[in-house]
Amino acid sequence: MTDHPETPGGAPEASDAVGHRADARTAGTHTLAADHVSLAYDERRVVEDLSLTIAAGKITSIVGSNGCGKSTLLRGLARLLKPVGGAVLLGGEDIRTLPTKQVATTLGLLPQSPVAPDGITVADLVGRGRYPHQGWFRRWTAGDDEAVADALASTGTLDLAERSVDELSGGQRQRVWIAMALAQRTDLLLLDEPTTFLDIAHQIDVLDLLVDLNESRGTTVVMVLHDLDMACRYSDRLVAMRDGRVHAEGAPGDVVDARMVREVFGLDSLVVPDPITGTPTLVPMGRHHRG
């Protein structure tokens, strides 16, 4: 397992066809699946007997109400949480039987709240994403420089390389963290609420960036998102979770309607087509505004 050459032009062919296994072959990337996975914190079971195949080369968003287990599922998929039942399969093999450093060359994760050491420069932080590619006694190679440069360039943070992460804006900082995950050069990228704490312009900015990555490198993107509208607009596939189980799964247009929103979020709403993209958009109703 050495450096992966980027998969060129792995852009998903425009198709609404609900993810078939065929995708995995055409995109030529690693497959990730949950096979009857149960996840728990201490005694409390959060995810229960969940099976899911992540469509390779696509963007998948996991949505659901607070506490439905979506972040837990993502941590389970990223091997940060050991399943109490079932297994997460990477390329068909139980992810926990694979050397964790080797997994890190295939699967990257941007956690919800990573920590930037005081005063660290952008280039240094992004460089730390190279860890899985380096040997026992860390040796820096020209390939590492290239990966860092690529990551900086594709996230538009090249000009920030020398800056201290502390002094960046929230949006810039999130780009830098994504760059760190990109420097890892993985086929699969998992992100836990990458747009939280960002204003609307920066949210769009980060999501656009993820689409760029998906289209130019064929990176499989899996993210937990709070905002259903954004999830519909930016994902090829949607996984709606409820009480630790998959409630609905498929292309946003097929999955999202008023009934699904009521069942998953417990909210009455009107679902209308997004005037720009045609994807479903939520118009929520509260107790006071029911039209």
Partner 1 sequence: MSAPVTVPHGVPDGADRPGVDVARASRHRGRVREARLVTGLSVALVVLAAVGLTLGDAAVPLSGILDTVLGRADVLTQFVVVELRLPRLLTALVVGAALGLSGALFQSIVRNPLASPDIIGITQSASAAGVVGVVVLGISGLALTGLVLAGSLVAAVAIYLLAWRGGVAGYRLVLIGIGVAALCMSVVSWVLTTSDVRDAQAALVWITGSLARSDWSTLNPLLVCFAVLVPLTAFLAPRLRSLELGDDAAAALGIRVERSRLLLILVAVGLAGSAVAVVGPVAFVALVAAPIARRTLGDGRLALVPAALVGALLVLGSDLVAQFAIPDVTLPVGVVTGIVGAPYLLWLLVRTNRSGRGG
Interface with partner 1 by CB under 8 A: which residues? Answer: 41-42, 75, 78-80, 99-105, 107-121, 123-125, 127-129, 131-132, 134, 136-138, 140, 145-146, 148-150, 152-153, 158-159, 161-162, 164-165, 180-181, 184
Would you tell me how many other CB atoms lie within 10 Å of the CB of residue 203?
20
Report, in Å, the least distance between residue 247 CB and partner 1. Answer: 26
- Please say which residue, 75 or 202, places its beta carbon nearer to partner 1: 75
Q: For helices 200-217 and 170-183, what crossing angle results, to 10°?
A: 20
- Please say which residue, 14 or 115, places its beta carbon nearer to partner 1: 115
Euclidean distance between CA atoms 130 and 148, whole angstroms = 8
- Please say which residue, 115 or 201, places its beta carbon nearer to partner 1: 115
Report, in Å, the least distance between residue 5 CB and partner 1. Answer: 13
Is the Cβ–Cβ distance between 231 and 195 less than 8 Å?
no
- Please say which residue, 74 or 239, places its beta carbon nearer to partner 1: 74
- Please say which residue, 150 or 187, places its beta carbon nearer to partner 1: 150
Give 50-92 as a 3 state SS string. EEEEECCCCEEEEEECCCCCHHHHHHHHCCCCCCCEEEEEECC
Is the Cβ–Cβ distance between 74 and 62 less than 8 Å?
yes
CB-based contacts of 95, cutoff 8 Å, min separation 6: 79, 87, 88, 89, 103
Report, in Å, the least distance between residue 15 CB and partner 1. Answer: 31
Could you tell me the strand order of the sheet in which 237-242 lies? 107-110, 188-192, 220-224, 59-64, 237-242, 245-250
Q: Which residue has the tokens 């930016």?
A: 234
- Please say which residue, 154 or 269, places its beta carbon nearer to partner 1: 154
Report, in Å, the least distance between residue 209 CB and partner 1. Answer: 16
Report, in Å, the least distance between residue 176 CB and partner 1. Answer: 12
Report, in Å, the least distance between residue 215 CB and partner 1. Answer: 19
